[in-house]
Structure 1
Amino acid sequence: MIQWAPYAFVRLALALAAGILTYLYIGSTLPPLIVPVLGLMLLYCGLQLWLGRRAAPALLDALGLMALLTVYAAGLALTQQATESRADNHLQRFGSRIEFYRAVVDDYTVTRPATYATTVRVSAVRVAGQWRAAIGGIRVSVPRDSGVAAPQYGDVWLVRGAPAPSKPPLNPGEFDYRRYLEYHQVYHQQFIHPDQYLKMGVEVPNRWQALGMKTARVLDGVFRQYVHARREYALASALVLGIKDEVDQQTRQAYANTGTTHIMAVSGLQVGLLFAAVTWLLGLLPGRRGRLFQFGTAALGLAVIWSYALLTGLSASVLRAAVMFTFIILARAWGRQSNMFNTLALAAFVLLCYDPFLLVDVGFQLSFLAVLSIVYLQPRIVRWLDVQGWFIDRQRPWHPKAVQKFWRANGWFWDKVWQATALSLAAQVATLPLSLHYFHQFPLSFLASNLIAVPISSAAVYVGLGLLVLKGLVAAVGLLLPGVAAWLDVLPQGVGWLFEKMIWCFNEYIFGVGHLLPGALLTEIHLSAPQTWLLFAWIVVMLVFFAVRQLGWLVLAFCLACGLAGSKVWAARQLAPDKQLIIYSIPRRSVVGFWEGAAAEIVMADSLPLSETERTYRIVPGSIQREARRVLYYQGWPAAPVPTRRLNENTLLVWRGLRVALVAGKVARAQAPSPVDVIVLRRNARVWPEQLAAAFGTGAPVVFDSSCKSWYVARQDSILQAAGFRTYDVTMRGAFVVAPRQ
């Protein structure tokens, strides 16, 4: 049996998370909860004070269950209170009536090839000539035209026009960016032209965050100065500061393919390294036994860790590490022993109270699961092999001292390698279901990649931080002795050279592993949410079986495995007879997909090949969702195996009894209409409703594909609807899907 007494916060964190998840699934149907939850809390506190410890064990157990119920209800209420869209003055209440709005830039600015992207928080809107208080977040994009400055944190804007609600996924299986934004309390998006907004001033929402951003830009300038190669500079800034704007897509993909993406992002690894360095440095100071010294060093350690967390943007993984190490430092200062599971659960509890929507943050989930798995599994995996003992057993009393030192050194080295291997294996166990669910791939080369890259990158973090400190000292000396600063600059130059070479080494190693083991990446794996839960349950049950060695747990694990396999077979059986014609929503493109079960032909009607980005983000997610086994791409209709007939610039095709007219030019006159099932207008086809009715009738829906301009769709849509046609715009409403007649 599991002894819950030592894990009080584990129980509370699980109850809080259950309440948050319940709200995310059915929260929109619940009435206001804050008053009932406060009443439940008061009732619990009253019962606890009245009964105390004098109550019978059964009553104490009932009080414990009531405490968990209270925390569960608190999770519901906290998530409800954190949902901005429930407010009466939220942007959603005003819709398209907004004439102007006032907002402040409240996030980092992401620099893209053609735009700047950031988030603004609205404080007021003008509706019908009157200004009204409002709240809400908008994800905005501004073109990177000459003379347009990048948005800065705290800039106050006056913007003309109403923002649009965030778009749902436009193609089957595509990433749900709308839901991602909603979890960050952003419900609108807008592309803002330079003449559409005016900077009115600066009102920093959070001075500490503004200071962290400003400091990060200054420190990024240090790396830009001393790390000269562009790729190495981009990785240096990502590794130490969490700034990934300059990292190219090829490098990102190489790290994803080898399971080392965590190296490229500031996470708990960097905070842990900083914590270890601070602990070691403080341990060198004299007088370590005094109470005042312990509290002083704790305060210094907390200041260093939280300064770094603020500097790197307070991502979910950094927050988890910072909060967890905060409790460890405080426990040490008070002389308390800390249970790592309790500490981890307490960190999760505090963070979820601060922001309940962190629970659905991928970084938060992967970070906590990886640490939980490492804490539990790594010591057990390490005990599989006594590496150091094996080398020590090779020693003999008659061996020279040099030989004995050789055996001991080998034992120490290979024991560290085995511990690192155990750590990497342990981290993968708990994160495997989420990795498959979110990223649809699993790198078999993760051990080979992490064993070398992680130690080098960890050392590089120390060297990078040392470069920043050294540059700061040189700059301080330069203020006092300007003539000496130029001579001292050779020191950061040397450290910068070493830093650049270390980054080059582990970067080349990652690319080398990818080239040497091209088949070590399992891709296009689809796990639905229920299947992910089944895989999690199977892993937990197997861990329990290995812990208690009872056959019943193995039987349960077998049943879960059968359930998982059966769900995959059932999904494949359901999909096998499914046939769909899809007009994809890909900006400025005409792409048609013909799906039959797990096979498809994708035709680019404009005869131009899809870019890798278009294919990866628009087509492949749907292929993974259907677990496609054969997807073929064709440039133009002549190469495609679909029967077609060309009429000038237009194409008539018949697929599985489904008749489709793709119209890109004038429609030829016809004595009698030839009915079709779908009419697709391409490339701003100059046609009139009477021409379409004469050629194809009015029964078929008219679909504007993504090659049509917005002004054209706006004009033609009203004209066609007035003539009795049904219309569909894939740019606004997503891909058009139709099934052939059975």
Structure 2
Amino acid sequence: MKFSEYPFLRYLPFLIGGILLGKSFQLSLSLLVGLLLLFWLAYFSVLKFSKSSKRIPMTSILAYVMLVLFGMCLISKDQQAEDKSSSKDVDKAEAYVGEVLQFDLKKPNSFENIIEIKAVKKAGEWTKANGKVIVYHQLDSTFSPGMEVYISEPPGIVAGPLNPFEFNYAEFLKREGIQYRQFLGKKVHVLGKSKVNSLSHFLVRFKSRISQQLKSKIPNPSSNQVAQALLLGQKQYLDKDTRKAYSESGVMHILAVSGLHVGIIYALLLFLIKPLKLSSKARKTYLFLVILLIWFYALITGMSPSVLRASTMFSLISLGQMRERKPSIFNVLAFSAMLMMCFAPLVIFEVGFQLSYLAVLGIVMIQPLILRFWYPPNKWLEYVWQLVVVSLAAQLSTFPLTLFYFHAFPTYFLLGNLLIIPLTFLIMQIGIPLILLSWIPYLSDFLGWVVNFLIQFQNFLIGQIQQLPYNQLDRLTISVATMLLIWGILLIWKAWEEVSRRKLAWGALVMLFIWAGFRFKESVNTPSELLVFYQTDKGMLMDYSFHHQTRSWNSRVKVSDISFKIDPNRVQNQWVINPKTLFAIPRQDSTFYFPVLQMNWDSNTNQISFQGKTPKAVEFWKDGKWYQSNNSERIALEESPIRIVF
């Protein structure tokens, strides 16, 4: 594998670098465009006037600089578009009018929907406004796309995370274009009837119609929710138990419409014409229709990063087949990634995008290396071995990132994929015809019965795998340095027979030294004794860590708050999930004394003070970092999480 043979693979890092630079150093779009034009003139001048011996290195440098600037332009343009898409101070309006974007989603005590703001009322006057609100209502009638509603109260801004390493729900909604959240109850007035006036409304209604057809043909609730996720990408219907079962079995990826599903549809469409001897023109026409069908499927399933990647990849492969050429998979992957970044540069920060490309790269690069370890004697064993190898290759490339984000690893992922992927393939081979032929009474009933049976059998297998002992390793952590080291080792393994082994060995040694340096720095900077106070809506909770032991004090903090707000920090610091209780002595003046810490906590004023034990540093958590505080005598615990280092 020569790196020079894959131009888009060479361009990709520079475009990503530009997006990262643009995210860190926000410059005006006009300035960036001016710089880009300046470098383009320099590039043109070098081509026109320089000597041929100096032309290639100079043009290469200028081209890479232009790619970096282009990435910065993309992120600046995206930021401008985001500023325009959301008006300021909508949360301070007296009322607003909006348009419903989708059908209601049933929640335990309400209905969930998304409203796009059209106008707001301020100081008695109506003005145009932008923004999206996720709402919860309790009306007797349901919302539908295109419906216009009047709401007499302003929406609230979605608050960001308060505690260390807490899930950033506000950032998650922001990537979906949602800035506000509001519980309406019945305080909402419908102004107009539902109307279909855009492609988005048509797609939402079309998808809803297919969903209703699946419900009628697969009435079993447990089977239907899996069918909705598997065929349409509607994971919102999955209950917690089903999500947990598929996740712990290592096959949650089959319920998220991804490249696997697009690949199955692509294979099915090509299989239909395999027996036919089509002319060159007819084959090209059919391949063009295949591309249209793939993108239509991508549209109705939500256009997730993995689906976009797969749709772009198979479209490029189909275009190559039209020209009777087989494009390089590395160029196809890199080009599809660059194309996605051009339309949505922030996609590189999405977990789905990262996992999707890592999985495919792992399969392409590592699968051939593992296949060499064994050559099966017959076709059946070869088929099983291929499944095992694909699963291993994808898992090897993605597990560092999975641990980094989710802190868990499914122990029986090989068994799960070996049993469930063939079943998924079979379900989709019958499920897609079920969707297409649902209007034919008896045939669609039979297909629905078959899909229902297969999904129930699949759920049974998932349940058996879930019940196996030690089915998931959880509360695992990994540093960025360790993650990069693992990927570096995999790359060295791939290049072992193509690049000088001496150079690779030296590269591995350098990586190990750098990794060891980061680990040493991390161990030096980690305090041996510290106290953390968390920010919660009610009550107070603190963790005291000393010499690899942890004690905790909880005063009226709910279990749900512990799970979502406090556990992430415990996992990151590798503290136990259920620490022992920190001993405290209550006093008559609403004060608690902690002998181990020599600390008083006033429950009325929510302040702490120390008697004899002096903290080395008092820090507060803000914007993902710990900052030094000047106050170390009497510390208030109301504004942000506090960390005290001894």
Q: Give the TM-score of the pair, scaled to structure 1.
A: 0.76
Aligned mate of 2:594, from 648, 651, 654: 654
Q: Residues 317, 108 of structure 1: CA spacing in aligned structure 2 closer, same or farther, 3 A cutoff?
A: farther
Superposition pairs for residues 480-629 of structure 1, below 5 Å?
Answer: 489-516=441-468, 518-545=469-496, 547-548=498-499, 550-564=501-515, 567-568=518-519, 570-585=521-536, 589-597=538-546, 598-606=548-556, 610=559, 613-629=560-576
Deviation per CA, 1:417-438: give whole Å up to 9, x if none: 1111111111112212211111
Q: CA deviation at 1:106?
A: 4.3
- SS of residue matched to 2:374: coil
Q: What letter is aligned with 1:350?
A: L
1:179 corresponds to 2:174: no
Q: What letter is aligned with 1:236?
A: A
Aligned mate of 1:82, from 58, 78, 81: 78
Q: Residues 91, 384 of structure 1: CA spacing in aligned structure 2 closer, same or farther, 3 A cutoff?
A: same
- Percent identity over paired residues: 24
Residues of 1 paired with 2:416 and 2:53: CA distance?
53
Residues of 2 paired with 1:130 and 1:726: CA distance?
46
Q: Residues 86, 274 of structure 1: CA spacing in aligned structure 2 closer, same or farther, 3 A cutoff?
A: closer
Q: CA deviation at 1:206?
A: 4.3
Matched with 1:435 is: 402
Deviation per CA, 1:367-419: give whole Å up to 9, x if none: 111112212222232222221xxx2xxxxxxxxxxxxxxxxxxx000011111
Matched with 2:618 is: none
1:98 corresponds to 2:96: no
| 8 Å Cα contact 1:83/1:185 also seen in 2 | no
Deviation per CA, 1:134-165: give whole Å up to 9, x if none: 43x3342213x25152x433333443344433
Q: What letter is aligned with 1:452?
A: L
| Greater CA drift, 298-307 or 38-47 | 38-47
Residues of 2 paired with 1:46 and 1:109: CA distance?
55
| 8 Å Cα contact 2:246/2:252 also seen in 1 | yes
Unmatched 5+ stretches in structure 1: 392-410, 475-488, 634-639, 664-674, 680-724
Q: Residues 107, 566 of structure 1: CA spacing in aligned structure 2 closer, same or farther, 3 A cutoff?
A: farther
Aligned mate of 2:145, from 139, 147, 153: 153
- SS of residue matched to 2:148: strand
Residues of 1 paired with 2:128 and 2:341: CA distance?
29
Q: What letter is aligned with 1:68?
A: Y
Unmatched 5+ stretches in structure 2: 610-633
Residues of 2 paired with 1:294 and 1:88: CA distance?
45
Deviation per CA, 1:587-606: give whole Å up to 9, x if none: xx535122214543444434
1:382 corresponds to 2:322: no
Residues of 2 paired with 1:468 and 1:455: CA distance?
20
- SS of residue matched to 1:739: strand
Q: Residues 427, 9 of structure 1: CA spacing in aligned structure 2 closer, same or farther, 3 A cutoff?
A: same
Deviation per CA, 1:470-528: give whole Å up to 9, x if none: 323x1xxxxxxxxxxxxxx3332322222122112222222212211x32422212234
Q: CA deviation at 1:584?
A: 4.1
- SS of residue matched to 1:522: strand
Q: Residues 470, 121 of structure 1: CA spacing in aligned structure 2 closer, same or farther, 3 A cutoff?
A: closer
Superposition pairs for residues 251-270 of structure 1, below 5 Å?
Answer: 251-270=242-261
Matched with 1:693 is: none
1:56 corresponds to 2:52: yes
Matched with 2:279 is: 289
Deviation per CA, 1:203-239: give whole Å up to 9, x if none: 76841x3222222222222222222332111111111
Q: What letter is aligned with 1:125?
A: V
1:632 corresponds to 2:576: no
Q: Residues 196, 78 of structure 1: CA spacing in aligned structure 2 closer, same or farther, 3 A cutoff?
A: same
Matched with 2:159 is: 167
Matched with 2:614 is: none
Residues of 1 paired with 2:342 and 2:188: CA distance?
38
Q: CA deviation at 1:352?
A: 1.0
Matched with 2:44 is: 46
Q: CA deviation at 1:260?
A: 1.0
| 8 Å Cα contact 2:404/2:479 also seen in 1 | yes
Matched with 1:298 is: 287
| 8 Å Cα contact 1:599/1:631 also seen in 2 | no
Q: What letter is aligned with 1:626?
A: N
- SS of residue matched to 1:58: helix
How many residues are matched? 620
Q: CA deviation at 1:262?
A: 0.5
| 8 Å Cα contact 1:583/1:737 also seen in 2 | yes
Matched with 1:739 is: 644
Matched with 1:407 is: none
Deviation per CA, 1:426-467: give whole Å up to 9, x if none: 111221221111111122321111111111111111111122
Q: What letter is aligned with 1:605?
A: S
Matched with 1:24 is: 23
Matched with 2:629 is: none
Q: Residues 138, 190 of structure 1: CA spacing in aligned structure 2 closer, same or farther, 3 A cutoff?
A: farther
- SS of residue matched to 1:192: strand
Q: Residues 348, 174 of structure 1: CA spacing in aligned structure 2 closer, same or farther, 3 A cutoff?
A: same
Q: Residues 726, 605 of structure 1: CA spacing in aligned structure 2 closer, same or farther, 3 A cutoff?
A: closer
| 8 Å Cα contact 2:591/2:600 also seen in 1 | no
| Greater CA drift, 102-111 or 520-529 | 102-111
Residues of 2 paired with 1:146 and 1:188: CA distance?
20
Residues of 2 paired with 1:253 and 1:161: CA distance?
37
- SS of residue matched to 2:586: strand
RMSD: 3.1
Residues of 2 paired with 1:95 and 1:15: CA distance?
38
Matched with 2:207 is: 216
Q: What letter is aligned with 2:132?
A: I
Deviation per CA, 1:242-263: give whole Å up to 9, x if none: 1122211122112222221111
| 8 Å Cα contact 2:100/2:144 also seen in 1 | yes
- SS of residue matched to 2:438: helix
Q: Residues 727, 500 of structure 1: CA spacing in aligned structure 2 closer, same or farther, 3 A cutoff?
A: same
Residues of 2 paired with 1:88 and 1:271: CA distance?
34
1:132 corresponds to 2:127: yes
Aligned mate of 1:310, from 296, 299, 306: 299
- SS of residue matched to 1:471: coil
Q: CA deviation at 1:362?
A: 1.1
Residues of 2 paired with 1:623 and 1:514: CA distance?
25
Residues of 2 paired with 1:48 and 1:115: CA distance?
65
| 8 Å Cα contact 1:104/1:203 also seen in 2 | no
| 8 Å Cα contact 2:606/2:637 also seen in 1 | no
Aligned mate of 1:373, from 336, 359, 362: 362
| 8 Å Cα contact 1:600/1:631 also seen in 2 | no
Residues of 2 paired with 1:160 and 1:355: CA distance?
34
Matched with 2:626 is: none
Residues of 2 paired with 1:442 and 1:677: CA distance?
40
| 8 Å Cα contact 2:567/2:577 also seen in 1 | no
Residues of 2 paired with 1:233 and 1:68: CA distance?
50
| Greater CA drift, 188-197 or 254-263 | 188-197
Matched with 2:268 is: 277
Residues of 2 paired with 1:193 and 1:129: CA distance?
24
Q: What letter is aligned with 1:560?
A: M
